[in-house]
Amino acid sequence: MNNIKYSICSNPDCIPVIHSNWYPPIAVQEKNPQYAQLLMPDLASAASEMTTVHTYLYQSWTIGNDYETIRCVIKRLAAVEQHHYAIIGQLIALLGGEPECRSTMNNSYWCGNMINYSCDLRTLLSNNAKSECFAAQAYAEQSQEIKDPCVSKMLARLSLDEELHVQIFNDFLQQI
């Protein structure tokens, strides 16, 4: 446990929930509907920013007072994920896409059954860490695949936040 950076005994407001690097401007070099389609699952699918926002809000409402730091940090993380959701939606629109609350499959709209409603603390922290790891890897891969430098820089930056979130959840998990 010596490698724990984020303690569940800390003041939750002292735990950083965003990476220290600045966000680049929300911009695109030119419209590209194919790139917009690549980003759609990041917006509103089972493994998306929208699902993460709602999952974290649910968790912040249901985690007990014994774990106040975890509850408060998760609530702050929901705000970060909401920011990511807004960024992805804006990028999709700028690229010429329609930032609808659906995945790329026809008639596959986002709904509340995409949320993991587990109330077991170990389970939800583990699931959150896995979800954040998936998001970090997806953004990193997309940043390499998408050749628009504006979009690529933003995706690489979002990946840094997700990597930080993985570390936070893994640290919390080691302490319970």
11-63 tens-digit pLDDT: 999 999 999 999 999 999 999 999 999 999 999 988 899 999 999 999 999 99
| Domain carrying residue 54 | 36-100+112-174
Long-range contacts, 150-157 (Cβ 8 Å, 24+): 150/24, 150/25, 150/27, 150/28, 150/29, 151/28, 151/29, 151/35, 151/91, 151/95, 153/24, 154/23, 154/24, 154/26, 154/87, 154/91, 157/19, 157/21, 157/22, 157/23, 157/24
Please list the residues that pair with 109 across neighbouring strands: 102
Does the residue 128 lie in any domain?
yes
Which two structure tokens, joined as six digits, stand for 150? 């504006």
Does the residue 25 lie in any domain?
no
Q: Which are the contacts of 2, defined by CB distance < 8 A and separation ≥ 6? A: none
115-126 tens-digit pLDDT: 999 999 999 999
Does the residue 157 lie in any domain?
yes
The model's pTM is 0.94
User: So what's the pLDDT on residue 102?
Assistant: 80
Does the residue 161 lie in any domain?
yes
pLDDT (average), residues 84-104: 93
50: CATH: 1.20.1260.10
55-64 tens-digit pLDDT: 999 999 999 9
Does the residue 22 lie in any domain?
no
Q: What percent of the chain has pLDDT over 70?
A: 97
Does the residue 21 lie in any domain?
no
Does the residue 82 lie in any domain?
yes
Average pLDDT score, the chain = 95
Does the residue 27 lie in any domain?
no
146-158 tens-digit pLDDT: 999 999 999 999 9
Structural domains of the chain, count = 1
